[in-house]
Chain A
Amino acid sequence: MTTVLKTEDLRREFGALCAVDDVSVEIDSEEVTSIIGPNGAGKTTFYNLLSGRLDPTAGEVFLRGRSGELENVTGLPPHDIAQRGLSRAYQINNNFEGLSVLDNVRVARVSTTDRSKELLSRYHTDDELREAAEDVLDLTGLRDVAETEAANLSHGDKRKVEIALSLATDPAVVLLDEPTAGMNPSESEEMVELIKELDETTDTTFVLTEHDIDMVLEISDRILVLHRGELIANGTPDEVMANEDVTTAYLGERQ
Chain B
Amino acid sequence: MSDETILGLPARPTALAALAVLVVAPFVLPTFQTYVLSEVLVLALFATGFNLLYGYTGLLSFGHAMFFGGAGYALGIFLRDVAPSLPFGGATPLVAFAIAAVLGVLVATAIAIPVGYLSVRLEEIYFAMLTLSFSMALYTLVNQNYFGVTNGSDGILVLLQTSNLFGFQLSLYDRVTYYFVILLVVAPAMYILWRVSNSPFGLVSEAIRENSERASGLGIDVRRHQWGAFVLSAVFTGIAGVLVAPLHSSLSPGASLHWTISAEPVIMTVFGGPYSFIGPTVGALFYRYIRWGITQFPLLEAHWQLVFGTLILVIVVFAPRGVSGLLKWAVDRVRGNGGESA
Which A residues have a C-beta under 8 Å from some C-beta of B? 51, 77-80, 82-83, 87-88, 90, 94-100, 102-104, 106-108, 110-112, 115-125, 129, 147, 165, 169
- Report the minimal beta-carbon distance from B115 to chain A, rounded to whole angstroms: 21
**Interfacial chain B residues near A125, Cβ < 8 Å:** 4
B207, A107: Cβ atoms closer than 8 Å: yes
Known: A96-B214, A106-B203, A119-B195. A111 touches B4 (CB 8 A): no
Is B213's CB within 8 Å of the partner chain A?
A: yes
**Interfacial chain A residues near B219, Cβ < 8 Å:** 79, 82-83, 111-112, 169
Q: How far is the CA of A84 from the CA of B228 in the complex (A)?
A: 22
B3 touches which one: A51, A98, A106, A124 (CB < 8 A)? A124
- Report the minimal beta-carbon distance from A135 to chain B, rounded to whole angstroms: 17
**Interfacial chain A residues near B201, Cβ < 8 Å:** 116-119
With A77-B216, A90-B214 given, can you name 12 additional A-B contacts, CB distance below 8 Å? Answer: A78-B216, A79-B216, A79-B220, A106-B200, A107-B218, A111-B204, A115-B200, A116-B204, A117-B200, A120-B195, A122-B199, A129-B200
B200, A78: Cβ atoms closer than 8 Å: no
**Interfacial chain B residues near A129, Cβ < 8 Å:** 200
B203 touches which one: A87, A110, A120 (CB < 8 A)? A110
**Interfacial chain B residues near A108, Cβ < 8 Å:** 218
A165, B218: Cβ atoms closer than 8 Å: yes
Known: A79-B222, A96-B206. A121 touches B199 (CB 8 A): yes
Known: A96-B206, A116-B225, A117-B228. A147 touches B2 (CB 8 A): yes
- Report the minimal beta-carbon distance from A80 to chain B, rounded to whole angstroms: 8
Q: How far is the CA of A95 from the CA of B213 in the complex (A)?
A: 10
Q: How far is the CA of A129 from the CA of B214 in the complex (A)?
A: 20
Closest-by-CB residue of B relative to A146 is: B2
Known: A100-B2, A110-B200, A121-B200. A95 touches B211 (CB 8 A): yes
- Report the minimal beta-carbon distance from B12 to chain A, rounded to whole angstroms: 12
**Interfacial chain A residues near B203, Cβ < 8 Å:** 103, 106-107, 110, 123
**Interfacial chain A residues near B199, Cβ < 8 Å:** 118-123
Is B221's CB within 8 Å of the partner chain A?
A: yes
Is B198's CB within 8 Å of the partner chain A?
A: yes
Q: How far is the CA of A102 from the CA of B217 in the complex (A)?
A: 18
Is B178's CB within 8 Å of the partner chain A?
A: no
Report, as a range, how many residues of chain B touch the other chain: 20 to 34
A-B contact pairs, 20 of them (CB 8 A): A78-B216, A79-B217, A80-B221, A82-B216, A87-B217, A90-B214, A96-B215, A97-B210, A103-B203, A103-B206, A111-B204, A116-B201, A118-B200, A118-B201, A119-B196, A120-B196, A122-B4, A124-B4, A124-B198, A129-B200
Q: Which of B4, B213, B219 has the most CB of A within 10 A?
A: B219
A112, B218: Cβ atoms closer than 8 Å: yes
A82, B198: Cβ atoms closer than 8 Å: no
B200 touches which one: A87, A102, A123 (CB < 8 A)? A123
Is B97's CB within 8 Å of the partner chain A?
A: no
- Report the minimal beta-carbon distance from B217 to chain A, rounded to whole angstroms: 6
Is B275's CB within 8 Å of the partner chain A?
A: yes
B196, A123: Cβ atoms closer than 8 Å: no
**Interfacial chain A residues near B213, Cβ < 8 Å:** 94
Q: How far is the CA of A94 from the CA of B212 in the complex (A)?
A: 10
**Interfacial chain A residues near B275, Cβ < 8 Å:** 98
Closest-by-CB residue of B relative to A96 is: B210
A107, B217: Cβ atoms closer than 8 Å: no
**Interfacial chain A residues near B202, Cβ < 8 Å:** 123
**How does the 8 Å CB contact mask read for B178-203 relative to A, with 1 for contact and 0 for none?**
00000000000000100110111111
Q: How far is the CA of A20 from the CA of B185 in the complex (A)?
A: 59
Tell me the chain B residues, 262-310 only, with Cβ under 8 Å from chain A: 275
**Interfacial chain A residues near B3, Cβ < 8 Å:** 124
Closest-by-CB residue of A relative to B207 is: A107
**Interfacial chain B residues near A118, Cβ < 8 Å:** 199-201
**Interfacial chain A residues near B195, Cβ < 8 Å:** 119-120, 122
